[in-house]
């Protein structure tokens, strides 16, 4: 895009803004030329140039310098549209730097000023950043709402394409999938029409991800392979990584371990040090499954340890985003209430000072009313604090079953293992996986699947002791840590749970056949490191599945050691319960 001939300053600044991502080298040269002539610029042109200079610092990675420049622009510029562009750019770099609380605070300030801004491009910039940041915090309804505002502002062009993609992506994340494929295709068509192929391929990524979830693997693989060459050309690492891990998943579902491993390793190689993302965790999980399938337990253990580390880091980041959003939201609401409370107090003081003795008598009712309002505000603040504490509790629980989620299960289990290690007492880890759970969902519907999960949790809770740690690890898989428990006791308790799960429920509305497979590992043979216990128990669970499901299997290393030490006891229990 060549600069227009005989351009005035405003046209040159507009041209620089248009090419800053398309041809950054030309943009930098034009910026240097404009800086030499800046003494003759109008006030608005100087502020526009300062914003473009700050943007270039962001582009080259000088975030600290860019943040100072953007902060100055936001505080001092009299130009609303430039303030909004600077705010949106600052939100972007704060989010990228994992400074989520600062990012949400800055975003709230920008959104508060947005109704006064008439410039469509500035509104688009703020609304686009808001949609992306809030989607990352799990606020999918808000993210979709801001995307809708972009679509309403633009009937065509690049912003409409991006708005449609952001709306489609938010709907995908929040599970609104009834007519989602049609909306995703409309977003793709809108982006292709204006040659925004990067966003078109981002939308195709969501389409392929859904196809993989629904076991339409051939459709997903076809779409990914068609789009992959253009995705590589963008040199946009995040999108390339998303495609790599989806290809790895698709090939693994097609039983092509060679290509699955290749794309999973590409995902790992592209990861930035210290950054834990969902694609990285998924890639390590796949590599662990591949090595386990090959019988390479040493390699499987190494990948499983990396998977646990990456998954914990990813969950920590997700929780940090969600908590930062809730914290800033409640801070803003509390400030508004405090300001309202202060205004009411001022009104009372002004009224008391202005009224004479007789007027005070006639105004007592109004003062009482204001005092009542103050009391209600105080009560609201109390409820706000309680809601903050409740949110902290909910962040630790699985939304469907109410038991510990994976992250909190890991934290509680590691703490319990440290305790039993100090006292040199044993503990056992049980992994439980419902058999043929996908068939239950496909045959009876997802409501029946959810009920099966709740039923399993209720059964397990009936067999737990007060010190046991129970959590949902993911999907239809659960974990139980039994502190101060021998292996024979763990086998007996697991068998009781297995029998209770397979028993037909009394309710006529829940006649869904249900069984579960169990894998057990003990600290006696695998030590007190959770990752070692998880790998051993998962290997036992895998063998339970392979050997026919609906059975309890203990870790293979423990089988030989335990048989040598307690042969009589084990054989008695095995004969009674049908252990394998």
| pLDDT at 378 (0 to 100) | 67
pLDDT at 562 over 90: no
Q: Please, which pLDDT band fits residue 441 given cuts at 50, 70 and 90?
A: confident
In the predicted model, what is the mean pLDDT of residues 434-453? 88
Q: Where are the domains of the chain?
A: 406-577
Alpha carbon distance 44, 194 (integer Å): 30
The pair of three-digit structure tokens given for residue 335, joined into one six-digit string: 């400030």
Confidence of residue 332 (pLDDT cuts 50, 70, 90): confident
**What is the mean predicted confidence (pLDDT) over 368-397?**
66
- pLDDT interval class at 343 (50, 70, 90): confident
| 398 Cβ contact list (under 8 Å, min separation 6) | 404, 405, 471, 472
Mean pLDDT of all residues belonging to the chain? 85
Pairing status of strand 427-434 against strand 552-554: unpaired
Closest CA to 444 of 514, 354, 394, 385: 514
Is the dihedral angle over the CA atoms 89, 92, 96, 101 positive or is it negative?
Answer: positive
Q: What is the mean pLDDT of residues 97-121?
A: 91
Q: How many CB atoms lie under 10 A from the CB of residue 383?
A: 11
Q: Examine the pLDDT at 569 and tell me if it is beyond 90.
A: no
* CATH code at 406-577: 3.30.70.270
pLDDT computed for residue 572 by the predictor: 30
Strand partners, 480: 430, 470
271 or 123: which leads in pLDDT:
123
Question: What is the C-alpha to C-alpha distance for residues 34 and 13, in angstroms, rounded to an integer?
Answer: 8
Cα angle 295, 275, 165 (rounded to 5 degrees) comes to 100
pLDDT number for residue 506: 56
Residues 6+ apart with CB under 8 A from 526: 532, 533, 536, 555, 557, 558
CB atoms within 10 A of CB 247: 24
Answer yes or no: pTM beyond 0.75.
no
Whether 570 has a pLDDT exceeding 70, the answer reads no
- Reported confidence tier of residue 563, pLDDT bands at 50, 70, 90: very low
CA angle at residue 169 from 168 to 173, to 5 degrees? 120
Of 524, 514, 387, 385, the C-alpha closest to 458 is 514
Percent with pLDDT over 90 in the chain: 49
**Rounded Cα–Cα distance for residues 7 and 19 (Å):** 15
């Amino acid at each position: 895009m060549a600069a227009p001939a005989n351009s005035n300053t405003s046209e040159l600044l507009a041209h620089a803004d248009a090419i800053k991502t398309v041809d950054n080298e030309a943009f930098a040269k034009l910026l240097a030329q404009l800086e030499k002539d800046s003494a003759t610029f109008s006030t608005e042109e100087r502020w526009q140039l300062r914003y473009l200079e700050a943007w270039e610092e962001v582009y080259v990675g000088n975030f600290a310098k860019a943040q100072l420049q953007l902060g100055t622009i936001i505080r001092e510029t009299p130009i609303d549209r430039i303030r909004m562009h600077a705010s949106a750019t600052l939100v972007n770099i704060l989010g990228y730097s994992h400074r989520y609380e600062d990012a949400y605070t800055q975003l709230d300030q920008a959104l508060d000023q947005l109704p006064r801004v008439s410039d469509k491009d500035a509104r688009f910039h703020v609304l686009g950043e808001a949609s992306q940041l809030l989607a990352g915090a799990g606020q999918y309804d808000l993210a979709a709402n801001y995307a809708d505002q972009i679509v309403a502002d633009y009937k065509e062009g690049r912003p409409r394409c991006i708005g449609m993609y952001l709306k489609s992506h938010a709907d995908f994340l929040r599970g609104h999938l009834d007519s989602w494929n049609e909306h995703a295709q409309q977003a793709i068509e809108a982006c292709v029409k204006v040659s925004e192929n990067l966003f078109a391929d981002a939308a195709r990524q969501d389409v392929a991800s859904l196809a993989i979830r629904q076991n339409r693997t051939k459709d997903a693989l076809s779409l990914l392979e068609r789009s992959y060459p253009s995705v590589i050309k963008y040199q946009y690492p995040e999108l390339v990584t998303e495609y790599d891990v989806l290809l790895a998943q698709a090939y693994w579902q097609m039983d092509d371990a060679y290509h699955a491993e290749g794309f999973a390793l590409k995902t790992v190689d592209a990861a930035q040090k210290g950054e834990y993302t969902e694609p990285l965790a998924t890639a390590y999980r796949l590599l662990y499954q591949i090595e386990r399938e090959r019988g390479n337990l040493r390699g499987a253990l190494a990948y499983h340890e990396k998977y646990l580390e990456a998954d914990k880091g990813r969950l920590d980041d997700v929780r940090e985003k969600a908590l930062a959003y809730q914290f800033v939201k409640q801070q803003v609401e509390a400030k508004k209430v405090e300001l309202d409370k202060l205004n009411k107090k001022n009104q009372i003081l002004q009224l008391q000072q202005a009224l004479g003795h007789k007027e005070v008598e006639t105004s007592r009712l109004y003062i009482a009313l204001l005092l009542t309002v103050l009391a209600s505000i105080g009560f609201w603040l109390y409820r706000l604090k309680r809601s903050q504490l409740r949110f902290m509790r909910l962040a630790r629980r699985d939304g469907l079953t109410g038991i510990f989620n994976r992250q909190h299960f890991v934290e509680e289990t590691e703490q319990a293992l440290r305790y039993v290690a100090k006292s040199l007492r044993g503990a056992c880890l049980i992994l439980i996986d419902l058999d043929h759970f996908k068939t239950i969902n496909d045959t009876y519907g997802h409501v029946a699947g959810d009920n099966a999960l709740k039923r399993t949790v209720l059964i397990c809770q009936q067999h737990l002791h007060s010190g046991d740690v129970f959590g949902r690890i993911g999907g239809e898989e659960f974990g139980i840590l039994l502190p101060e428990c021998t292996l024979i006791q763990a086998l007996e308790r697991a068998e009781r749970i297995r029998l209770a799960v397979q028993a037909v429920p009394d309710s006529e509305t829940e006649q869904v056949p249900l069984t579960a497979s169990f894998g057990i590992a003990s600290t006696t043979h695998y030590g007190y490191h959770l990752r070692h216990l998880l790998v051993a128990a998962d290997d036992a669970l895998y063998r339970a599945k392979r050997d026919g499901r609906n059975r309890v299997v203990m870790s293979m290393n423990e089988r030989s050691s335990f048989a040598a030490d307690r042969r009589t006891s084990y054989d008695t229990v095995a004969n009674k319960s049908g252990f394998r």
